[in-house]
Amino acid sequence: MLRSLVLVLALAGGVAMAARIEVEPGLKGPASALEKARSLRRERPDELIEIVFPGGTYRLTETLCLGPEDSNLQISAKAGEKVILSGGIKLGGFIVEADGRWQARLEGPPFQQLWVGGRRAVRAREPDSGFFRMKGVKEEKLQNGKFRQTVEMEDDALRWLRDLSPESLEKVQMLAYHKWDNTRRFIEKVEGSSFSTIGEDMKSWNRWDTKSGLIFENVPAGLDEPGEWYLSERVNPDGDPDKPLRYIPRPGEDPKQSEVIAGGLEKLLVIEGAKHVSIRGISFAHAGWYCPPGGFEPSQAAAPVEAVIQVDNAEHITIEDCEVSGTGLYGVWFRKGCRDCKLLRSYLHDLGAGGARIGTMEQGMATSGNVIEDCIIRDGGKVFPCAVGVWIGSSGGNRVVHNEISHFAYTGVSLGWMWGYEGEGAKGNIIEGNHIHHIGNGLLSDMGGIYTLGPSEGTVLRGNRIHDIVSYDYGGWGIYNDEGSTGIVSEGNLVYRTTTGGYHQHYGKENIIRNNIFAYARDQQLQFSRPEEHVSFHFSHNIVLWDKGPLWSGGAQGKGNFECDSNLYWQAGGGGEITCFGKKFSDWQVGGHDGKSVIADPGFVDPATGNFAFKDPKAVLPLPIGPFLFQDAGVRGAERWKALAKEEPVDWKVFAH
């Protein structure tokens, strides 16, 4: 049902009228409203057209697509009302079995994501938390150009798979965790304590090995915990599909009261070639992803994975006060040729991949000048653990400011997509005032709160609060300047409770690290890996506070061309001699570093619990250090918005190690 109300408004400068289209809930409501808007556009090409949705849930049967003809358009929720555009499939017909499990026989296509009562259900998996370890891996090349990996497992890891029928075994998915990547594959066969799988060859820089972990998903016997589900995809002898869905309810769930929704459409909104489009107050939910037969090969940051809201070759697109939740993919992507696009005050959570993306993996796609501001972006990687909170590829001049970014298994903010010094890179980006925390979750390695790559002259990382960066193995850093990072200024940040250092530079050029606080890394406080002839970095006017381990460490062994001076160091708790790359601090100074640095207690109130205020605000530090800019990190705005940012995701520990 569709109601159209055309309003004539007097706008400044003599700009023409605005047309308002109001729709009522219904399966064809969104598409019908869009067709009406296009009809009005033909009559009034210069008008602002508004599509307003009254409160309700609108089920999408196909992706909403906006093109150049949809420019100068506003899509919004009616003031004060909740509007959900859902790509999911509502399920029903459940019966409660004697053991309390729910069961329903379903028609229609299979799915791999499910939500019950608004919470993501866990596809039956083993182990229920953490992962199994590989004992060994052999690889052979097949005649078709593919590769077979045969994986030797722990003694009891395959007991869940040995007795499965071929039909059930072929639906089991292996999800491997190796360094910074994940590989998702189907199982070829199981023999004794090993299984085999077929796909691409393992890359030399990131092979599966004895440190690699894995889980098995869609395992019938793995249906053993509340919140888990299993969908059989058998075919009966008569040829009819038989897809019983079984679910173990969480406490308090009732099949008559709890809405059950399966993931359906992968993308809900695609914008291509439009200008001046505003999306306000809309919730986008229940967008699924179905694993193709070849699985998902490893890719850093899940870079090939697309987004529920995807924008290309567009200008002045604003997504404001929106919500994206319950996805199989990334949340929002300003991809190719996007300029002056904004994601503002929006809530992205319960994400199959990561949160928001800007730019592409390729050079020259003309994406620049975009903004992600005051958003809550968290609780991702449910399908692709290697995805990141905010990703900027080969794109410059963007701003990521005052966001809450947390609970991702790989990295908080990833910036740049060039390994080395060639190309345009990601220059002139501003990453400022963000609260980035609980990154890594003990699942992946070689990651950071903020991670950078390649030429980035003019890029500034300023006033961010970064903490609780927990890697599985090596490489849980706060700020991580990886390969070729160039011309980046990191200033006024607070970094604490990291695994392998508050700051790390692999190799780079002319980076500046000044006026930051680095505290309480587990293994060492600072790392530097590869020396080069040019100046690698300038490290000055920082406070470093710790209680154990070396100050500096890493493969550079203190060699190379870098400047380190005028810092304040304090090893609390009588931790012993300060060492830098295995040298006593006095020998380090003789070698030309930290001649003007000071060893002194900075006088923080309670740094062990994250309180880095000074006990005496009027006290003068023995060195000119500061200003510190992290005090207002995180989202701004209404108190309820700030309170939401402080909440912990309900189920994130299920997906942590």
CA separation (Å) from 161 to 11, 227, 314? Answer: 67, 21, 48
* Burial zone of 605 (CB within 10 Å; 0-12 exposed, 13-18 middle, 19+ buried): exposed
- Which domain-ending residue is among 168, 190, 222? 222
Q: Same structural domain for residues 258 and 177? A: no
Tell me if 487 sits within 8 A of 470, measured CB to CB: no
Please report, rounded to a whole number, the percentage of residues in the chain having pLDDT higher than 90: 85
Q: Same structural domain for residues 552 and 430? A: yes
Q: What is the pLDDT of residue 24?
A: 67
Cβ-proximal residues to 115 (8 Å cutoff; 6+ apart), any chain? 88, 121, 259, 260, 261, 262, 263, 286, 326
Pairing of strands 125-126, 213-217: antiparallel
Q: Same structural domain for residues 196 and 217? A: yes
> Smallest Cα–Cα separation from 451: which of 384, 521, 400?
400
Mean pLDDT of 544-569: 95
Q: Same structural domain for residues 579 and 604? A: yes
Residue-wise pLDDT for 505-533, tens only, equals: 999 999 999 999 999 999 999 999 999 99
Residue-wise pLDDT for 603-646, tens only, equals: 999 999 999 999 998 888 999 998 898 999 999 999 999 999 99
Q: Is residue 371 part of a domain?
A: no
Q: Same structural domain for residues 480 and 556? A: yes
Tell me if 484 sits within 8 A of 454, measured CB to CB: yes
Residue-wise pLDDT for 242-294, tens only, equals: 568 999 999 999 999 999 999 999 999 999 999 999 999 999 999 999 999 99
Q: Dig out the tokens for 11 from the structure.
A: 């706008």
Q: How many angstroms separate the CA atoms of 286 and 115, rounded?
A: 8
- Residue 465's DSSP bridge partners are 435, 494
Q: Is residue 369 part of a domain?
A: no
Helices marked H in 121-207: 166-169
Full residue range of the structural domain in which residue 215 is found: 126-222
C-beta contacts of 577-580 below 8 A and 24+ residues apart: 578/550, 578/551, 579/550, 579/551, 579/552, 580/550, 580/551, 580/552
Q: Same structural domain for residues 191 and 107? A: no
**If you write DSSP's letter for every residue of 436-462 in order, what string do you get?**
EEEESTTT--SEEEEEE-SB-TT-EEE
Q: Is residue 496 part of a domain?
A: yes
Residue-wise pLDDT for 120-154, tens only, equals: 999 999 999 889 999 999 999 999 999 999 999 98
Number of structural domains found in the chain: 3
Q: How many angstroms separate the CA atoms of 533 and 85, rounded?
A: 55
Q: What is the pLDDT of residue 25?
A: 64
Q: Is residue 490 part of a domain?
A: yes
Q: Same structural domain for residues 132 and 255? A: no
Q: Same structural domain for residues 518 and 580? A: yes
Q: How many angstroms separate the CA atoms of 206 and 180, rounded?
A: 8
Q: How many angstroms separate the CA atoms of 75 and 370, rounded?
A: 20
**CATH number for the domain harbouring residue 185:** 2.40.30
Beta strand residue intervals within 142-259, DSSP E:
147-153, 173-178, 181-186, 189-191, 194-199, 213-217, 228-231, 234-235, 241-247
Q: How many angstroms separate the CA atoms of 269 and 87, rounded?
A: 10
CA separation (Å) from 352 to 307, 310, 651? Answer: 10, 15, 13
Global confidence as pTM = 0.95
Confidence of residue 364 (pLDDT cuts 50, 70, 90): confident
Q: Same structural domain for residues 603 and 481? A: yes
Q: What is the pLDDT of residue 235?
A: 45
Q: Is residue 199 part of a domain?
A: yes
Pairing of strands 511-514, 260-262: unpaired
Q: Same structural domain for residues 99 and 216? A: no
Beta strand residue intervals within 117-162, DSSP E:
119-120, 122-123, 125-126, 132-141, 147-153
Query: What is the DSSP-derived secondary structure letter of residue 645?
Result: H
Q: What is the pLDDT of residue 240?
A: 45
- Which domain-ending residue is among 167, 192, 222? 222
Q: Is residue 378 part of a domain?
A: no
Cβ-proximal residues to 129 (8 Å cutoff; 6+ apart), any chain? 653, 654, 656, 657
Q: Is residue 285 part of a domain?
A: no
Q: What is the pLDDT of residue 242?
A: 59
**CB-side exposure of 460: number of CA atoms within 13 Å?**
14
Q: What is the pLDDT of residue 564?
A: 97
Residue-wise pLDDT for 170-205, tens only, equals: 999 999 999 999 999 999 999 999 999 999 999 999
Residue that the structure tokens 């002839």 belong to: 533
Q: What is the pLDDT of residue 239?
A: 45
Q: Same structural domain for residues 106 and 217? A: no
Does 11 score more than 70 pLDDT? no
- Residue 504 — φ and ψ, nearest 5°? -145, 130
Confidence of residue 375 (pLDDT cuts 50, 70, 90): very high
Residue that the structure tokens 């949705």 belong to: 53
Instruction: Render the burial of 516-528: b for 16+ CB within 10 Å, e for the rest.
Output: bbbbbbbebbbbb
Q: How many angstroms separate the CA atoms of 546 and 568, rounded?
A: 12
Please report, rounded to a whole number, the percentage of residues in the chain having pLDDT higher than 70: 94
Q: What is the pLDDT of residue 46?
A: 86
| Mean pLDDT of the residues in the chain | 93
Q: Is residue 425 part of a domain?
A: yes
Q: Same structural domain for residues 602 and 623? A: yes
Does 68 score more than 90 pLDDT? yes
More confident residue, 362 or 372: 372
Q: What is the pLDDT of residue 577?
A: 87
- Residue 593 — φ and ψ, nearest 5°? -120, 150
Q: How many angstroms separate the CA atoms of 399 and 54, rounded?
A: 33
